[in-house]
């Protein structure tokens, strides 16, 4: 699906090329998780101490994971994020946006969960603009998307690129 979308973008006149992120970026998803659970545990410490029985099982698991993160691990994760964020201008030097998979498949059935956010963790941590564009439908008819990722503070370019991409490969394009 993703490769087909890339081919359609090239056929539409898009300048599409592969970009390899620096090796440090491989550690960002884990760093984002460590930062998130650490901060959840800190921000919900009162609720955990006084109302733990009323918290969902998922929230208790997240809080417990956060309590297991040392301050040193948290600081190292934040330092990695700052280092990688400083590398972004070089990554975006010759490209307007990155076009990357959003998920590994359709969202799960029901409203209890939205699916695994793995592919979005690094963009959240790096604080870059991201627009998800539906580019196909999965076996259950739910949309499958790609992420259009822009450089720091480059929201306008990201939105314009996402619109251009959606017009060419997006599910439901040219409707209305």
Taking the chain (176 residues) in runs of 10, the rounded mean pLDDT of each run is 90 93 96 97 97 96 98 98 98 95 81 78 96 89 90 97 92 52
> Which element (helix H / strand E) includes 97?
strand 97-101
Instruction: Please tell me the predicted confidence (pLDDT) of residue 172.
Output: 62
Instruction: Please tell me the predicted confidence (pLDDT) of residue 103.
Output: 84
What Å distances lie between residue 160 and 14, 27, 56, 131, 150, CA to CA? Answer: 13, 30, 40, 10, 10
Instruction: Please tell me the predicted confidence (pLDDT) of residue 170.
Output: 79
Give the Cα separation of 83 and 21 in Å (integer).
13
Instruction: Please tell me the predicted confidence (pLDDT) of residue 171.
Output: 75
- List the domain range (segments joined by +) for residue 32: 20-94
Instruction: Please tell me the predicted confidence (pLDDT) of residue 161.
Output: 96
116 and 146 part of one domain: yes
Q: Which of 49, 73, 94 is the last residue of a domain?
A: 94
106 and 128 part of one domain: yes
Instruction: Please tell me the predicted confidence (pLDDT) of residue 173.
Output: 52
Instruction: Please tell me the predicted confidence (pLDDT) of residue 174.
Output: 44
Give the Cα separation of 122 and 152 in Å (integer).
13
What is the rounded (10 degree) CA torsion for 166, 101, 14, 163?
20
Crossing angle between the packed helical segments 57-67 and 28-43, to the nearest 10 degrees? 110
Instruction: Please tell me the predicted confidence (pLDDT) of residue 31.
Output: 97
165 and 115 part of one domain: yes
34 and 106 part of one domain: no
* Number of domains observed in the structure of the chain: 2
Give the Cα separation of 72 and 56 in Å (integer).
28
CB 158 within 8 A of CB 148: yes
């Amino acid at each position: 699906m993703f490769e087909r979308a890339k081919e359609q973008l090239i056929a539409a006149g898009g300048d599409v090329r592969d970009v390899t992120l620096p090796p440090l970026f491989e550690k960002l998803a884990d760093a984002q998780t460590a930062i998130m659970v650490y901060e959840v545990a800190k921000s919900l410490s009162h609720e955990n101490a006084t109302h733990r029985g009323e918290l969902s099982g998922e929230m208790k698991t997240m809080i417990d994971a956060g309590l297991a993160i040392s301050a040193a691990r948290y600081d190292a994760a934040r330092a990695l994020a700052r280092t990688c964020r400083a590398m972004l201008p070089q990554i975006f030097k010759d490209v307007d946006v990155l076009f990357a998979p959003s998920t590994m498949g359709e969202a799960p059935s029901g409203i209890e969960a939205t699916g695994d956010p793995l592919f979005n963790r690094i963009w959240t941590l790096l604080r870059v603009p991201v627009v998800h564009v539906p580019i196909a439908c999965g076996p259950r008819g739910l949309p499958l998307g790609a992420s259009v990722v822009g450089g720091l503070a480059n929201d306008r370019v990201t939105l314009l690129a996402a619109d251009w991409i959606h017009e060419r490969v997006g599910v439901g394009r040219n409707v209305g």
